[in-house]
Amino acid sequence: MNNDRRCTTEPARTSRHPIAKRPIVFIALLLTALFGTVPGSPSLVDAMDIIPFQSSNQSPLIRIFGLPAIGSASVVPAGKFEGTLTSDVTNSFATDSSGTEAVMLDGETYRFNLAVRYGIAPGLQIGIDIPYLAEGGGVLDGFIEDFHDTFGLPQGDRKSYPRNRLLYQYGNNGATKVLVNDGSNGIGDIRLSGAWQLHRGDAESPLAVALHASIKLPTGNSNRLFGSGSTDFALWLTASDDRQLPLGHLTVYAAGGGMAMTDGDVLKDQQRNLAAFGSLGLGWSPLDWLALKVQADAHTSFYTGSSLRQVNSGSVQLVSGGTIGFGDKTFLDLGVSEDVLVATAPDVVFHLALRHRF
């Protein structure tokens, strides 16, 4: 089946990546406390709006589908643009075998996405997402192993395999069904979207609800895992509510919806045509230029006919970090994502998103 027989014999990797477990929130809280005590620090009254991380599962076998980032519960005002440039740096390592199946997901991907939203009428927006991917062996494996060793954390199976290698491989019943072992780059599957503001409260009742829809087109190369070869339609609700606190304000947000997919080119005999997804998040803005956020993203399985969780399993990812505001129109999201359900998503994803309102 493969050019590395260890892929079929090594046990499943069970350790989670410790980089995603660093005390990011604690450090941010400490900095916030320090900044809040400095004379002349920013006002605590007009804290920034808190919107969800624009994140989704970046597993090589999942990112190819039209699983959307849940977006905001408030649409872009009529006649205005909003542009977001997102970068996700993903380091994956997962291997398992069972019966006639074996999987190896070992590599690093840099995914860039340009998202543009435009308010075409009051309470109504349209948008487009254009992703670009570069995949290869990467450079983070040595740093990850050194981090493990320094703090006495388990390595899993990482040290049994070459560093900075690209090998995405899945086989069943003696047939190789997925094989990507050389680096490349290219455009991914383009997505068109729209949103309708169902409810928008005021300062005393800030509840907001929006209905989102998207259609993902098969523009990416499915042989490179830059796309699925399917056309995917997603429909979901995003809601948020906000409450003032003695220090800043707190926002709770959630989303839920479903996807319908045509038959694609990747594991076409095992692909499901329906999936559900949802998110739940919490954000605290103590200053008018800073918000701290934590968010859980989940979805059901996209495949069937497999006993391996890397292929046929639902997933939950936890994203933690925050938002830095540069004035009232430009914002930078910084986050780290980890796999809560081990081996169903990448070990670690470093997430950056620069957003600007025009």
| Contact residues for 343 (Cβ-Cβ < 8 A; gap 6+) | 12, 13, 14, 94, 96, 309, 310
Is this structure's pTM higher than 0.95? no
- Report the pLDDT value the prediction gives residue 20, as an integer from 0 to 100: 37
Asked whether residue 269 is assigned to any structural domain, the reply reads yes
Quickly state the pLDDT bin for 318 (edges 50, 70, 90): very high
Of 279, 349, 292, give the one whose Cα is nearest residue 325: 292
251-279 pLDDT, tens per residue? 999 999 999 999 999 999 999 999 999 99
Asked whether residue 70 is assigned to any structural domain, the reply reads yes
Asked whether residue 327 is assigned to any structural domain, the reply reads yes
- Report the pLDDT value the prediction gives residue 152, as an integer from 0 to 100: 62
Nearest-angstrom CA–CA distance, 353 and 113: 9
The CATH number assigned to the domain holding 163 equals 2.40.160.40
The tally of domains found in the chain comes to 1
Q: What is the rounded average pLDDT for all residues in the chain? A: 86
Beta strand pairing status for 184-187 and 191-200? unpaired
> Residue type at 61?
L
pLDDT value at 137 more than 90: no
9-23, 70-84, 237-251: least confident range: 9-23
The upper half-sphere exposure of residue 252, i.e. CA atoms within 13 Å in the direction of its Cβ, equals 4
Asked whether residue 292 is assigned to any structural domain, the reply reads yes
> Residue type at 42?
P
**DSSP secondary structure code for residue 171 in this structure:** E
Is 232 within 8 Å of 216 (Cβ atoms)? Answer: yes
Q: What are phi and psi of 102, to 5 degrees?
A: -155, 145
- Report the pLDDT value the prediction gives residue 155, as an integer from 0 to 100: 55
Look at residue 210 and give its three-state secondary structure. strand
In the chain, the percentage of residues whose pLDDT exceeds 90 is 72
- Report the pLDDT value the prediction gives residue 48, as an integer from 0 to 100: 84
Quickly state the pLDDT bin for 47 (edges 50, 70, 90): low
Nearest-angstrom CA–CA distance, 319 and 301: 20
Average pLDDT over residues 31-54: 56
Of 87, 88, 89, give the one whose Cα is nearest residue 139: 89
Tokens of 227: 């796309």
271-306 pLDDT, tens per residue? 999 999 999 999 999 999 999 999 999 999 999 999
Quickly state the pLDDT bin for 342 (edges 50, 70, 90): confident
Element (H, E) at 31: helix 24-36
7-22 pLDDT, tens per residue? 333 333 433 343 334 4
Longest distance between any two alpha carbons in the chain, whole Å: 68
- Report the pLDDT value the prediction gives residue 141, as an integer from 0 to 100: 67
Nearest-angstrom CA–CA distance, 10 and 149: 21
Length of the chain (residues):
358
Tokens of 207: 């509840």
Asked whether residue 329 is assigned to any structural domain, the reply reads yes
pLDDT value at 44 more than 90: no
Asked whether residue 1 is assigned to any structural domain, the reply reads no
Q: Produce one character per residue of 163-192: b if its CB has 16 or more CB atoms within 10 Å, e if not.
A: eebbbbbbbbeeeebbbbbeeeeeebbbbe
- How far apart, in Å, are the Cα atoms of 244 and each of 141, 285, 322? 43, 10, 18
Q: Find the domain containing 123 and state its range.
A: 6-357
